[in-house]
Amino acid sequence: MVGMHTSPSDDLATLDTAASAPSPAEPGGPRRAASPWRGRVMAAGLLLAALNLRPAVTTLGPLLEEVRDGLGMSGTVAGVLTSVPPACFALFGFTAPRLARRWGPGAVVCAGLAAIAAGLLLRPFAGGTVVFLAASALALAGIAVSNVLMPVIVKRWFPDRVGAMTGLYSMGLSLGTAVAAAVTVPMTDALGGSWRAGLGVWALLAAVALVPWLFLARDRTSGAESGPGANGPGANGPVASASVAGGSETGGGTGTRTGTDTDTGAPAAVAETAAAPADGPAIRIARSPLAWAMAVFFGFQATAAYISMGWMPQIFRDAGVSASTSGLLLAVMMAMGVPLAFVLPRIAARLRHQGVLVVILGVLGLIGYGGLWLAPAEGAWLWALLLGVANCAFPLALTMIGMRTRTHAGVVRLSAFAQSVGYLLSIPGPLLVGVLYQHSGGWGQPLALMAGFMVPQIVAGVLAGRDRTLEDEG
């Protein structure tokens, strides 16, 4: 279908195909290598953009109590605020592929970074909750479109280094998440103790990231000049399935072979998925039990992640932990994603059924929530570590998306469906936690709800982890 009736997954598939197609100027031939300085600017732009894709979310949690007091925000409204990120990711993520086809991915990411900087700059000047929510939504809209397009840019600009650059992007994403959580409170204290200064200063990082993209956005054909190997291993590598979430798939694929692809650093199964023909029978994605299992699994792991980023510091603070230590605890949770984002996908790629990993992560999450209920302050560091590991269901979900398909078109469509629907499913979770916290006056009921969310996550993940593919259901 075309025009207004084209689905987001179709837009993504077309965009990815364009990204890996030979240059019209050089049909079927090798592509002209970029100059070394341009490659360095591209890599710097990629890293700086990744660093800015989570601070708008993780800087708020450690200061949520001060923000609520300053704006007169109830627990229920705070729940709405913590539900805004997945809502924006689901809503604005749908627009990114069409914007990229019209203006080019680089230009759209540049505009996204500008929106992040503007939203973070405006947010501290909000005199009321509505303006604060609107400014937050502006920043999150910029994050959403960048989330979708950064993996596409990795594949387009670095076709022969997909594994390495995906690792760089993943590291930047996790580093920005953890550092923002850790330093927000100390930096706020250093700036005079105002939560407005502590939140607004992060606009500077977004402004710095914008600089290289002002140059990169001018060239809509960057992918055609990023180096040889666009049609070789890695051209359609693991990033293909990380097209909405803003994370990166560091492994996974289909086929029976295991091991590592020497060009990309990704599991060899990914290369087989990349080499599979894009053409095949039409996939009715909305009727696929596998697609719905993946969407539910992705949705509940996203629910846990955004509840953690929005509410976990408040849980620790209410237990008597200081604001700065609460921020560090959140940073520890987020930092667990740095090493495990590389380890988990490689383990998953060697298993025929990933259900065992889903169960292990889910059980660790249940233990963590139980510990928070029994001894939130006494075992705070242990619970943060356990919940940090449990939240690594995100890279596992992305890996499973790649492993549950045989074709390039299949991986893109499953990714778009699972992640878009998943983010929609994750919207009510943080809001419900806020409502329960407001009306119960404590964390017993909210923690029971968080633990309860783990059950459908485990069930859906086990179903999605079975050894079958989307094309088998077509």
Query: How many CB atoms lie under 10 A from the CB of residue 40?
Result: 12
pLDDT value of position 11:
54
Q: What are the structure tokens assigned to 309, written together?
A: 């980023």
d(C-alpha 346, C-alpha 243), whole Å: 20
Specify the 3-state DSSP secondary structure of 267. strand
pTM assigned to the model:
0.71
3-state secondary structure 11-34: HHHHHHHHHHCCCCCCCCCCCCCC
> Could you tell me which residues come within 8 angstroms of residue 60 by beta carbon, excluding any fewer than 6 positions away?
67, 81, 82, 136, 199, 310
pLDDT in tens, the chain (474 residues): 333 344 455 555 555 544 444 444 334 333 444 567 777 888 899 899 999 998 998 898 889 889 989 998 888 888 888 888 888 887 887 788 788 888 888 899 999 999 999 999 999 998 889 999 999 999 999 998 888 787 778 777 887 776 677 778 777 888 888 899 889 999 999 999 899 999 999 999 999 999 999 988 875 544 434 333 333 333 333 333 333 333 333 333 333 333 333 333 333 333 333 333 444 455 678 889 999 999 999 999 999 998 998 899 999 999 999 988 999 999 899 888 778 877 888 888 889 899 999 999 999 999 999 999 999 999 999 999 999 999 989 888 888 888 888 876 787 688 778 878 898 999 999 989 989 998 898 999 999 999 999 999 999 999 999 999 888 886
d(C-alpha 384, C-alpha 58), whole Å: 15
Cα end-to-end span (Å), the chain: 18
Query: How many CB atoms lie under 10 A from the CB of residue 442?
Result: 10
pLDDT value of position 282:
54
Sign of torsion over alpha carbons 425, 388, 316, 310: negative
Q: Cβ distance 402 to 270 under 8 Å?
A: yes
Q: Cβ distance 329 to 380 under 8 Å?
A: yes
pLDDT value of position 267:
34
pLDDT value of position 118:
96
Amino acid at 317: R
Amino acid at 282: A
Residue of 266, 264, 265 whose CA lies nearest to 403: 266
